[in-house]
Each structure stands twice: as C-alpha cells, then as structure tokens.
Amino acid sequence: MSLRPDQLHSHLQKGIAPLYVLHGNEPLLVLEAADAIRAAARDQGFTERETFVVGQGFRWNELSAAAGNLSLFGDRKLIDLRIPTGKPGRDGGEALQRYVATLDSATVTLITLPEIDWATRKTAWFKALIEAGVTLELNAPEREQLPQWIAQRLSRQNQRAPEEALRFIAEHVEGNLLAAHQEILKLGLLHPEGELTLADVEQAVLNVARYDIDKLRQAILEGDPARCIRLLEGLEGEGTAPPLVLWALANEIRILASLRSGLDAGQPLAQLMRAERIFDDRRKQAIQRALPRLALPALRAALLHAAKIDRLIKGLGEGRVWDEFQLLALRVARRS
C-alpha cells in the first residue's frame, strides 16, 4: 500500500503495519515520517528496538536473526533498517525478499532509503518491499508549491502569513526544507499565534538559501534569468569550484543541442530523450518547454562560449570566470 505523506498520521492512529518503506529526496520529511512511525510503534507496545545501517561488509543474516530473536520478557520489537546508498547489492536484495516473505505481528520493520531511481524501482527486491508493506515517497515540494508547504507548517503552530510573506520565505530558503522548518519554528518563538505580517517575516528570516548545481540547471531550462544570476552569485559566494559549474552548464547545453538537432532532423523527442538517458518526468517536461525557444545555432554558440570559459579557468585568455558564467546562463535561459 502506498500512502501520501499527509495520510500517515491517520493511518498510524488506526494501527501499525508490519513493514514501512520510506524513500525520497528530502531528508527532513523522511526523518519526520520515521520519527512518527517509531513513536506509534512505542505507543502500541513495540518497546524494543534494533537499528541496522547497511554498509560495506554488512551481514544480512543479522537482519533475519534479529527478527527471530524475541525478547525474554515478551516485548515486541521495532527493526530500524537504513540503507543510505539505496543499493543493497545482489545478496542484500535476495535477503530482503526472503525477509519480507516471513513478516509477523511481533515485529515492525522500518526501512529507510534515499531517493529511488527508475532502475531501482524495477528491481525484484524493491517491488517485494512495496507489495509487502506500506510505502511513502517523501520528496521536497516543487518550487512553485513551496509557499503552500510553508503555510501548512505555519498553521501547525496556529500562525498565518500573507502570500507575499510566504513567497519571501520560499525565495530565501531556495528549496532547503530544513532551513525553512527552522525559520518557521523561529517565527513561532518570536511572534504570538495569529496573523504574521510581511515585516514580521522579513525581520526574522535569514538568507539561508541552499544553492546547488541542479537548481541552476533547472532555472536555465525554465528560462528564469533572474534566478540563474541569484544562484550563480550564491555558488560563487560558497566557493564552488568553477570546473564543476562549467561541467554542469556545458553538459546541459550539449544535451539540449543534441535534442534540438534530432528534432530538426525529424526524430521523435521520446526516443531522443531515452538516448540521452532522461527519465525523470519533471526534467522531461522542463526540456519540452525549453526546446521551442532554443535554436541549434544558438546552442552551438553557447558550447563555444563554454569552451572559452574552460580556457579562462585554465588561465588562458582574459576575463572573469563568474561573469562569463552569468553571460552563458543568460544566453540559454533568456526568452526571445
């Protein structure tokens, strides 16, 4: 059974299942869901707990042994299994399939995974987990949904804020949910319950944006020049290595040029995306929106610009690397 994150609370009030599988790209949401499941297990008599973290050399037989090793005092047990890489390997995959085939009511198992890619979703062990237990996919809200997520969090502490204040928080945390969570808690400490003003929020919220390469690539695809500049300034301020930024920009432009060339030659976009190993639905949609405004000559010129930046990074030529990054990003992101 698959649950939405907002369904977990009511589900746990009805009773606890023998197996929970948490995965997603947002550590805060995964942690909160895991805490809720552990608390519900304690409340329902699963007072003993064993934690396993899968790493190199992990002995999978310990997992089944823990499930079979009941307490002398009759306490029921929570087994907390964490697989940080999301890759248990062949032996681990087989062990997980055997394990979930023998679940019993004396044990609750909580399995925590990172974001699961398309290939892992097709594996026998992951399918076995989904079929045997309750699954929650815990991803960060999309950028346009972040103000609503912040509003919901504020409502938990009986506070409200106008739309412009919600957007202000969202812009200043730049996708960092943990930072957003901390700022929301701070607003709860600084101000009483009720309506917050934009001034209240502006005075309390720090600039805690998490700038990263993936967000820059997304801003380019979405044709958002202002956000590109803000992200590049943040990356420079954080001391990000220029070769890493160049690789991300050049690789994105190369992919767009390849797709544009194929489309111009009459090839189906779906086939071209498979060839470039583009499987994420959100990324597919962003590329589909970006390609109509990008001509092949402009993309080829952008690749030549990237080659110029590469020479600058190596000390050849004149110019400031981060200024050139901004010009390159604007070349691809601007809308004609």
Task: Summarize pLDDT for 260-298 with one digit per residue, the tens.
Answer: 999 999 999 999 998 888 888 888 999 999 999 999 999
Q: What is the mean pLDDT of residues 227-240?
A: 88
**Residue in the block written with tokens 């950028």:** 143
Name the CATH topology of 213-333.
Answer: Zinc Finger, Delta Prime; domain 3 (1.20.272)
10 Å Cβ neighbour count for 52? 17
Which of 168, 172, 238 lies closest to 209 in space, CA to CA?
172
Across the strands, what pairs with 22? 112, 136
Structure confidence at residue 248 (pLDDT): 87
Q: How far apart are CA 161 and CA 202, in angstroms?
A: 12
Q: How far apart are CA 46 and CA 332, in angstroms?
A: 56
Q: What is the mean pLDDT of residues 74-78?
A: 77
Max intra-chain CA distance, the chain: 75
The secondary structure of residue 177, as a DSSP letter, is: H
Equal fold, 143-204 vs 213-333: no
Q: Any idea which of 86-100, 110-124, 144-158, 205-219 has the lowest mean pLDDT?
A: 205-219
Asked: is 2-137 a CATH 3.40.720.10 domain? The reply is no
pTM above 0.85, yes or no: no
Right CATH for 143-204 from 2.130.10.10, 3.90.1300.10, 1.10.8.60, 1.10.1040.10:
1.10.8.60
Q: How far apart are CA 79 and CA 81, in angstroms?
A: 6
Domain boundaries, the chain: 2-137, 143-204, 213-333
